[in-house]
Structures are given as C-alpha cells and as structure tokens.
Amino acid sequence: MSFLVSDFFDLDAFGHAAVFDGCENVWDVLKKIAPYVRANVTTEIRGRVEDGAHIIGEVFIDEGTVVEAGAYIRGPAMIGKNCEIRTGAYLRGDTLIGDGAIVGNSTELKNTLLMDRAMAPHYNYCGDSVMGNDTNLGAGTKLSNYKIGADKTVRLLVDGEVIDTGLIKFGAILGDRAATGCNAVLNPGTILGKDVLVYACTAIRGYVPHKTIVKLRQPTEQAELR
C-alpha cells in the first residue's frame, strides 16, 4: 500500500508544496510543519485584523484575509490569501494555512496544515493534522491526536500489515476533497484518501481508501406523544 504525498494531494497550485520535501510517507510532513513555518514566517499583516482580535508572536497574514474580533492567533503561524479566521478561532502555534481556508468559531488548530480552501468552520479540533485541498469538517468534528492507554505510538493496520509511524502525536490526514459529517471523530492515526465522505457521528481510525463513504447505521424509533 502506497502512502506517497502525491496519492493524497495535488501540489501543483499549493504555495507551500516545499513543506512536503523529503517525505517518504504522507504522515512524515507532521514533523516538518513547525520547522517550515519557523524558517519562513515573517511578522506582517497584509489582510484585515478587526479590533478585539489577538495576534501574539510571529504571524504572517496575507492579502484578503480577515481575522475577526475574538480570534486568538499565537505564532509562529502563516496564513494565506482570502482566508476567514472567525470569532473564537484559536491558533496555538506552528500553523500553516493556504489560500481561501476557513477557521471558524471555537475551532482550535495545533501543529496543523490546512491546504487551499480547507474548511474547519465550527467547533473543530485539529491537532497534528493535515487537511488537503477543498476538504471540509462538519460542525463538531474532532481530529484527535493523542492515544489513551499505555502504548502511545501510533500504528496503522493496513491489509493485515502493521505500520509503525513512530509518532506519538498524530491526528488525521484528509486527502483532497475529503469531508466529514457533524460530530465525527477521527481517532489518532486516521488517514482519509481523496474524496472520502464520513457520515455524521461516526468514530473511525486507520486508513480509508479513496472515494469511499463511511456510513453509520443505527436504529431509530418513533412513538406517539401522549
């Protein structure tokens, strides 16, 4: 099974394609986000920051991006063009965001890469994760990055083979155009291929192949109100 970067992302138009240089497997980029941001960030605001937003440390905000009042950005962070950083967003540092992305109310990012037009718009947690081009998280979706239990190393089971990523902090990787429904939970080490759809309230882990729908089926019952 191949986990090459090119299997998951179209990098032709992505302005920060260099962050993936030297990555043997797609999850290797998680170790490169922080060094890349810290080596390339400049403190400059070209977009619009509303009164009441908090910008701390080295933060670059490109043209057309709006940071709404009540957002909190702690550098180092690099934010591309025409993004929306909405009220209540919390960027904890080592954050790399492409063009046209949305970080919404009560969404928290930590050591995370959002590629072009990636959307985490409502009550999302994204830790040690990558969201590909045109991805979307339903409200309340969590990309969980830390295992419970004694064994913290994230391992993948793929076609009967155990792959040791060597990572302790590993949230999720979403290939281009992958999307989740509301309140889905992607447990540590979840990898979604391109065009994967995950139904609302589904909790998953491991690898989901390209162009797959992950469905949650549960019985419901209706009774007459007396």
Q: Give the 3-state secondary structure of residue 20.
A: helix
CB atoms within 10 A of CB 13: 11
* 210 catalytic per annotation: no
What distances in angstroms separate CA 8 from CA 12, 196, 216, one per listed residue? 13, 11, 24
Cβ atoms of residues 203 and 215 within 8 Å: no
Cα–Cα distance measured from residue 77 to residue 138, given in angstroms and rounded to the nearest whole number: 24
Cα–Cα distance measured from residue 201 to residue 125, given in angstroms and rounded to the nearest whole number: 15
Cβ atoms of residues 186 and 169 within 8 Å: no
Residues 16, 54, 122, 210: which is the catalytic one?
A: 122
Cα–Cα distance measured from residue 29 to residue 94, given in angstroms and rounded to the nearest whole number: 13
Residues forming the active site: 122
